[in-house]
A and B are shown apart, each in its own frame.
Chain A
Amino acid sequence: MKFTLAWLKEHLDTDEPVEKLADKLTMIGLEVEHLDDKAKALEPFTIARVISAEQHPNADRLRVCMVDTGNGNAPVQVVCGAPNARAGLVSVFSAPGTFIPGKNITLGVGTIRGVESRGMLCSAAELQLSEDHDGIIELAADAPIGAAYAQWARLGDPVFEINLTPNRQDCTGVHGIARDLSAADMGKFKDPGIKPVKGEFPCPVNVTVEDATLCPGFALRLVRGVKNGPSPEWLQRRLTSIGLRPINALVDITNFMTYDRARPLHVFDAAKVTGHLTVRRARDGETLLALDGRSYTLDHGVCVIADDHGVESLAGIMGGEASGCSEQTTDVLIESALWNEINIAQSGRKLGINSDARYRFERGVDPAFMVPGLEMATRLVMELCSGTPSENVVVGKAFGDDRVIDFPLTEVKRLAALDVPLVEMKRILGHLGFMMAGSGPVLKVAVPSWRSDVSGKADIVEEIVRIVGVDKVPMTPFDRGDAARKPVLTQIQSRTRRAKRALAARGMIEAVTWSFISKPHAELFDRDPPVPAQANRRGHPELSLANPIAADMSDMRPSLLPGLVAAAQANIDRGFSDLALFEVGQVFASDEPADELIAAAGVRHGVASSKGIGRHWSGSATADALDAKADALAVLAAAGAPMQALQVVAGGPDWLHPGRSGTIQIGPQNVLGYFGELHPRALEILRADGPLMAFEVILDRIPDAKQRPTRARPVLELSAFQPVSRDFAFIVDRSVRAGDIVRAAQGADRKLITAVTVFDVYEGNGIDEAKKSIAIAVTIQPREKTLTDQEIDAVAAKIVAEVTKKTGGVLRG
């Protein structure tokens, strides 16, 4: 919403400085987003005449001008590059030391190609008056040399631009803004009322409203014998000052009413209207060439005003070209109507029209001003274009619903902690147009028709608080109470936090990718919900957006990996190909809240093993699937998974390499996640350079830890006896898994064997081609006494026997 100070002063008797008015507007909820005070910004710019313009001795495109600045001193030498700089030209001059808004510089005395320049002749762009920087400003030859340019050009009227909140339809007109300012003690509100214009004959055009929910009220009148033409200078200036283009008096009046009174109107050229007017829904496929020159195809949802020919106007949004007013118009039909806000909003959005009328009607205009608005417009038409008015035709309601609120006076204190005396409350509400009755603790407050946003006690509190000033509300310490200071994170929040720190501590970098990915990627990583009935269907239509912002951001991600792989690839493309990225965030198995899960995932590419990122003399390696396994297990450990209970089994989902992948589970019913090398076919779909190592685990799938009543750790039992370590190397088939050997060794004596580690894996020379050697170190912890050699040998024999039995391995000779 834009307006100027002079315009405001038509409605508000005030001497307050413009900055103070702007501050006050902001502080009462009408945020001034921009205050354009050209008079101030352009104060140093004066009108000057070019006396002579000679070719610059050292530059083809420059001229050396002698300029009369009108202050009685000798002419000033200015080097100017403008093609229109010539002797006799009257233009705008700025002396050294002037800030040039369009260039964001302060001018100094300069020497240009060896010639001194003591000032500048300015283009409109340099003054931020327009985009025109083709040449310097050309003024009329009789413009007063030496005078302040802005003042002479009537640029002096400061322009306010308010970022209006959608509830304040009353402030879509200057009149309403002035009312608010008067309540805030910024001046006296000028509200002389509107005198009706007596009609001199019945209006020959009738109005039928087919659907009163779309059009609660409609007022119309004819003014006959008008003389349309350019509107007077004062009206043109009003419109141009806020960036509107004057068209002709009749149209300008409607635009003026829109901004002055928040009352959009429409004017039809009566000669181009056939028969009577009907307000109805458009028929599917009807078209209208609107005043913006574009043709719109309408449907049943759009409300229109039609005559016997067809649609003439998009109700409350934009008029039609055919029945619009031109300089030839002699009889004008003025329409002032009320429209259904929701329908206007929907139709406007559907048709893609953002008009000043739509802006106001979708916020809801003052119903009680429908007829007075028509009267005021009629008066303006008669003043500017003369003519003879008909009587009004009014269909439907011409007033709003009465709204009376019981307002307990204590409410301001209760909600806002403000002590406002009753007399002050009444003063504020009175200025804003509220009527009050009663004297007890509960006031009866009647809401003015233009405040459709006010419907309850809290709204009245807001009115009082915003005018008194939110800064008056005393800051009051908020007692945190005696609730125990215990952790406030939920389990999943805590797991998320630990997972992030654990992965970063492995040298990985945290990424944050989009929650939506492309459909092919979503299908590749499809995560079926745990509902058997849906287990076989492909894809999740319920996770596809109806209005995605881009085709590759169409589906909610079932996995973090597509986003992470894309992020990794973007870095690889930038030349950073050794990298380890991770993300912890939400993934979606369906659109149910319970199927929104927190996943932790990571990718490694290039020389990015657990040893570190990038080549290094101390050791470095290309990331492999087991680095991804290490990442997965590190996250699970940090997030509190029962590590002893985890099983790692070979193989994984389709998107992983079948031979270089594993599944981490607690039994086949609870799969926590996967790790491995991405499948080459998956890489192709993801358009990524392999090999890429990846893992993903679902933190929600980690079983809850047992709640313990205290924080004490279990009692520590330290054995008095030294542990014994024995090494064994087994020759096994290559298909035998190390995990099975470890498990077999552990099973040999669950009491005495406390640890089994694999310290060597060997395939190659000296060993049968189909075999490999796996060497383990077994720690035997005596419990009650030191073990004799025979006892230790007996345990060792059991270990060998157990491994042989479970894996077919034989002790290496």
Chain B
Amino acid sequence: MTDLAQLESQILSQIAAAGDEAALEAVRIAALGKKGSISALLATLGKMSPDERKTQGAAINLAKDKVGQALAARRDVLKSAALDARLVSETIDVTLPLRETAAEAGRIHPLSQVFEEVNTIFADMGFAITEGPDIETDDYNFTKLNFPEGHPAREMHDTFFFNPKEDGSRKLLRTHTSPVQVRTMLTQKPPIRIVCPGRTYRIDSDATHTPQFHQVEGLVIDKSSHLGHLKWILHEFCKAFFEVDHINMRFRPSFFPFTEPSLEVDIQCRRDKGEIRFGEGEDWLEILGCGMVHPNVLRACGIDPDVYQGFAWGMGIDRIAMLKYGMSDLRQLFENDVRWLSHYGFRPLDVPTLAGGLSS
């Protein structure tokens, strides 16, 4: 074996023995560094004859390449091993439970959600959404709506009153959202198509009544809208709101001072272990009242009942929310128990849309 071959095999074995990148670097410097063993051999070439240089030069360069390749290969191995070793030390506990994101934990009250659902459906049918104040005048809440002074129909609404003012007048908490209809008719020329959602109040407190509750009313005034349209709208609404393909509804005559004819509407359903299934069953559940706007109401609001006609309806938001989502106790809607709200409430990103579903 020549000296060169011996040197080469010695360096290669040193490379193989290098345990980490630093040791390998030491081997490289000892072989290929400025003062390295192979560098030293290359430096001797200058003193050689051309022929000798030719053969020796080729041999030394060959050895240098071999060493270089071995260094690179060994470096890759050591680098990879070092990485593996580092990664092993970097293990985390993937079973650690994480916090729910705020968007998962937060809740929208079911009433807010249902208001949005109702608005979405009626907006699609071309209705504007209007609102009015909770504190109303007797005139807007009763008189203009054809409740004669002292009429027993006023007693159907157990009204919260404020203290009388010096002039004897007294304001009240609206007993229905119908004053919004009055305000609209007084300020807007027909055609009118509105729904008025809002909070309403009556002195009543038991298992099925709370002193405050919520309603959405609708009003259409033009020259041609009739009971047939009203029935269709309510039917379409109920299908969309309860998210069912068909629903059986029963319209029966009733009485409200502000409509004539007046109807009450029941939907057919079956109660099944706390759930209510619509479009089947034996029970009829009353869900709303409606009718053709009474000529006296139109007149009181400056609209000629021989030219214009229309209809109105009103329903309890709390009630339809409970029916749809299977909430059993009205009072819980206002008790604000976080367990109840977390259970029946909606996530903030569950925005009702007709395209994506009302209740998602």
Contacts and interface: CB of A to CB of B under 8 A. Distances in A.
A505 B309 contact: no
Interface residues of A, number: 97
Interface string A418-460: 1000000000000000000000000000000000010011110
Contact of B334 (A29, A166, A346, A513): A513
A389 B235 CA distance: 60
A547 interface: yes
Nearest to A493: B129
Nearest to A594: B133
Interface stretch (B19-27, B35-43, B145-153): B145-153
B170 interface: yes
Contacts of B348: 500-502, 504-505
Contact of A503 (B106, B134, B333): B106
A406 to B, nearest CB: 11
B338 A31 contact: no
A490 B132 CA distance: 12
B342 A488 contact: no
Interface in B210-255: 211-212, 220, 225-229, 231-233, 235, 250-255
Interface stretch (B7-15, B54-62, B81-89, B97-105): B97-105
What size tier do the contact residues of chain B reach?
A: 35 or more
Contacts of A418: 227
Contacts of B111: 512
A168 interface: yes
A588 interface: yes
Contacts of B98: 618
Given A462-B261, A473-B231, A545 B160 contact: yes
A476 B348 CA distance: 37
B314 to A, nearest CB: 16
B252 A31 contact: yes
Interface stretch (A86-94, A240-248, A568-576, A739-747): A568-576
Interface in B96-131: 96, 98-103, 105-109, 111-112, 116, 119, 122-131
Nearest to A455: B296
A507 B232 CA distance: 41
A617 B99 CA distance: 9
Contact of B106 (A453, A506, A591): A506
A586 interface: yes
A576 B203 contact: no
A749 to B, nearest CB: 37
B316 interface: no
Given A415-B227, A504-B108, A510-B109, A345 B205 contact: no
B260 A556 contact: no
B283 to A, nearest CB: 14
Contacts of B130: 490
Interface string B157-168: 000111111000
A595 to B, nearest CB: 9
**Which of A459, A510, A548 has most B Cβ within 10 Å?**
A510
B261 A586 contact: no
A513 B135 CA distance: 17
Contact of A515 (B116, B134, B254, B333): B134
A3 B152 CA distance: 23
A515 B173 CA distance: 10
A457 B305 CA distance: 10
Given A415-B227, A470-B251, A504-B347, A475 B150 contact: no
16 contacts: A31-B254, A31-B264, A167-B255, A345-B150, A346-B150, A416-B226, A418-B227, A458-B261, A461-B292, A471-B251, A480-B126, A487-B123, A497-B116, A501-B351, A542-B171, A613-B105
Q: Which 5 A-B pairs rank lowest in CB-CB distance, beginning with the nearest?
A: A342-B150, A29-B253, A165-B255, A507-B102, A476-B228
Interface of A: 26-29, 31, 165-168, 341-342, 345-346, 349, 362-363, 414-418, 453, 456-459, 461-462, 465-466, 470-471, 473-478, 480-481, 483, 487-490, 492-493, 497, 500-516, 541-549, 553, 556, 567, 570-571, 574, 576, 579, 581, 584-586, 588, 591, 593, 596, 610-613, 616-618
